[in-house]
Structure 1
Amino acid sequence: MKKPIRKAVLPVAGLGTRFLPATKAVPKEMMTVVDRPILQYIVDEAREAGVEHFIFVTGRNKGVIEDHFDSSYELEDTLKRRGKDGAYAALMADLPPAGATSFTRQQAPLGLGHAVWCARDIVGDEPFAVLLPDMVTKPGGGGGRCLAQCVEAYNEFGGNILALEEVPPEETHQYGVVAIGADHGRACEITGMVEKPKAGKAPSNLIISGRYILQPEIFQILELVDKGAGGEVQLTDGMIQLARKQKFHGVRFEGTTYDCGSKLGFLAANIAFALSRQDLAAGLKEELRKLGFVAG
């Protein structure tokens, strides 16, 4: 019987140098897409997929993340006294239950694989999800968000699950890329993985897009795996070793992913999410029309 996916690891120790000076004092994960922190979208996605416990792997100057997912008595009391019932209800809806968050430190910038390994004692001996906080997803085709689609595949196939997306072949050298075997439609068997292949050497144009379901044996491998690209512990290198013993499946995500670690991706996410809001869409379209970006 497959164990359910109850825990999620969120690696949030990065410095956010691509957004300096904005991220000098504000963690990049707390920058807002419309009116919600990027990280709140990630937690919302994990909640939708059934995750009950959120493990944040943090670094220095990330205390505001812990504060965001905690009670704020003064603010809550002020909202109630002023009769701002809608704002209070929204605030409380985002608050995780007591004991549902854990915070651990990645004390050196040694890569994604190392960040995941830092959560080993909190995860324990059960499968878990990893969600990269730069990648904000928007569902398409009537399905759930990305991790919910991955959990659906896990419930069918078990093992390890990776979210996949297609990119132009000339861009594959920027990502972790998979080779695929038996194809089941939206899901497929993964027969190989390579981190940032040389131009023209990628086994496909399907990239690993920031959502993972992994078995706990990955921790033993990450503890011993050699440092890879950039002198860091690469999660992909660990998964390559795990794939020699366990099955991996990929899920072609039906929806859109916005890389909010890049300025263009961040701007695109703000526009896309604002246009999906009834209270903002009409006004934003009018502003875009004034700027010459929307006809009519």
Structure 2
Amino acid sequence: MDRKVRKAIIPAAGLGTRFLPATKALAKEMLPIVDTPTIQYIIEEAVASGIEEILIITNSNKHSMENHFDTSYELESRLAASGKHDQVKQIRDIANLANIYYIRQKEPKGLGHAVLCAKSFIGDEPFAVLLGDDVVVNKGGEPSLKQLISAFDKKSASVVGVQTVQKEEVFKYGIVAPSASHLPEGRLVKLTSMVEKPAVEEAPSQLAVLGRYILTPEIFELLETQETGAGGEIQLTDAIKRLMDMQAVYAYDFEGIRYDVGDKFGFIKATIDFALDREELKEKVEAYIKELAKEV
């Protein structure tokens, strides 16, 4: 088995019901943070982490994603004719980000089933999974996925990305159970179990899995036999829990600010913070926030 993590899966077949009516005709992954679709930030993180090939799991209503990462000859020629060469370069760079492929998840059977759709693409290699609802910024440091890949290189075992969440919010996430018999190695800890969206009083920790995974290919044979779990769906968390019976699985408490852009307030926070990070917008946004603060 090739032990280098070269490939990534981005599950993007969800209906985006939390953002209706905008997502009635537009893929939720194409909702822009300032002027860049959320999925582009995810792909840029993957590329910056050394990923060479990306498979996006879509459904029949996600053509806009494919168009966004494709070459647009008509748009390029019109921009060039207008002398807008910087913008020509910008859209060409998007098309050249990575080798991107697409496959449809024909039925909405959950994240585990979406990952299983990538079995033939991945083959017998370790691979990354990045969820499009989680945008992570780590200014001046390694991308969150690169941190997980480094942990995988050290252990040659599956690694899930985690951060600590508020106790009253554990029911929203997959929660990991760190091993009591293995001491943490810095930010890396061996796991004994995982549970998807536990009740607050039943959560084994406050370490939540937040949209980044490095998995070994053995996960596919488990997903093929995985019974439905929380929400009546095939849960990736349940299959990873079974994987722990076969081989070691670790959690890595990654560095970076994570935005839940699948949540309306999380999306608003990301938009404000990203705008404040833009030189041409920072002063105007800061001034507007100060004006709003006076009225509160």
State the secondary structure of the residue aligned to 1:233: coil
Residue aligning to 1:258: 259
Q: 2-side partners of 1:97 and 1:153: how far apart?
A: 25
Q: 1-side partners of 2:91 and 2:83: how far apart?
A: 14
1:1-296 aligned within 5 A: 3-96=3-96, 100-140=99-139, 142-181=140-179, 182-292=183-293
AA partner of residue 125 (structure 2): E
AA partner of residue 247 (structure 2): Q
Higher mean C-alpha deviation, range 151-160 or range 46-55: 151-160
In structure 2, the gaps of 5 or more residues are none
1:143 and 1:149 in contact (8 A); partners too:
no
Q: 2-side partners of 1:259 and 1:101: how far apart?
A: 24
2:59 and 2:104 in contact (8 A); partners too:
yes
Q: 1-side partners of 2:55 and 2:30: how far apart?
A: 16
State the secondary structure of the residue aligned to 1:183: coil
Shift of 1:293: 6.5
Q: 2-side partners of 1:31 and 1:21: how far apart?
A: 12
Q: 2-side partners of 1:58 and 1:211: how far apart?
A: 18
Shift of 1:13: 0.5
Shift of 1:199: 2.0
State the secondary structure of the residue aligned to 1:213: strand
Give a deviation string over 1:54-77, Cα, whole Å, max 9, x none: 101101211111111110000111
AA partner of residue 258 (structure 1): Y
Q: 1-side partners of 2:157 and 2:38: how far apart?
A: 29
2:130 and 2:213 in contact (8 A); partners too:
yes
Shift of 1:96: 3.0
1:159 and 1:214 in contact (8 A); partners too:
yes
Distance 1:102 1:137, change over 3 A: same
AA partner of residue 232 (structure 1): E
In structure 1, the gaps of 5 or more residues are none
State the secondary structure of the residue aligned to 2:257: strand
Q: 1-side partners of 2:254 and 2:209: how far apart?
A: 10
AA partner of residue 9 (structure 2): V
Q: 2-side partners of 1:252 and 1:87: how far apart?
A: 38
Q: How large is the RMSD of aligned CA atoms in angstroms?
A: 1.6
1:2 and 1:158 in contact (8 A); partners too:
no
Q: How many residues matched?
A: 293
State the secondary structure of the residue aligned to 2:112: helix
Shift of 1:294: 10
